[in-house]
A = this chain, B = another copy of it.
Amino acid sequence: MDKVDEMPGHHIRRLNQIAVAVFHVEVGGAGSDLTPVQFAALATLKDNPGIDQATLAGLIAYDRTTIMGVVDRLVQKGLVNRAVNGKDRRARLLEVTAEGLALLEAIHPAVLSAQRLMLSGLTDAEADTFLILLKKATRGANDLSRAPMKSVPES
């Protein structure tokens, strides 16, 4: 494993690079400049309306400081509303706007097509196996990153 070409880390970075590029091409072709990160935040917010930034960060395993800029841009694009929580004035509650929902709908086919394209080097069966191992690896090493995945706290 002395060569960089034999190291898992190198190919993981490479595939992520490809995934991001494919996402931009597909979603860009659908007329949107939404980034993969912005999409993940928006889609997760749609399924979990009214959570705060820290909870959102935990759900998709982003660093708390990273999510700030992402949400900033989503708010600026009019896709997300951000309001101070009356019950806990530290927190900001997030909600997808009507435009945000419409955009998610509009780019949905492009997002799915990107997921297929980024693994186009594999057969369907291989892609299935790959995804299973990928999810197991991330679950197993979850606590090794600064921003581990966290569920929504039941309140």
Contacts and interface: CB of A to CB of B under 8 A. Distances in A.
Contact of A126 (B4, B43, B117, B133): B133
A1 B136 CA distance: 17
A140 interface: yes
Contacts of A23: 9
A102 B85 CA distance: 54
A32 interface: no
Contact of A141 (B1, B8, B118, B147): B118
Contacts of A138: 11, 14-15, 18, 121
Given A8-B119, A19-B9, A36-B13, A136 B141 contact: no
Interface in A129-146: 129-131, 133-142, 144-146
A21 interface: yes
Closest 7 CB pairs of A and B: A121-B140, A16-B16, A21-B145, A130-B133, A9-B19, A121-B137, A14-B138
15 contacts: A1-B112, A1-B115, A8-B127, A9-B36, A10-B40, A11-B134, A13-B37, A14-B138, A15-B137, A17-B147, A21-B145, A122-B137, A126-B133, A129-B129, A130-B134
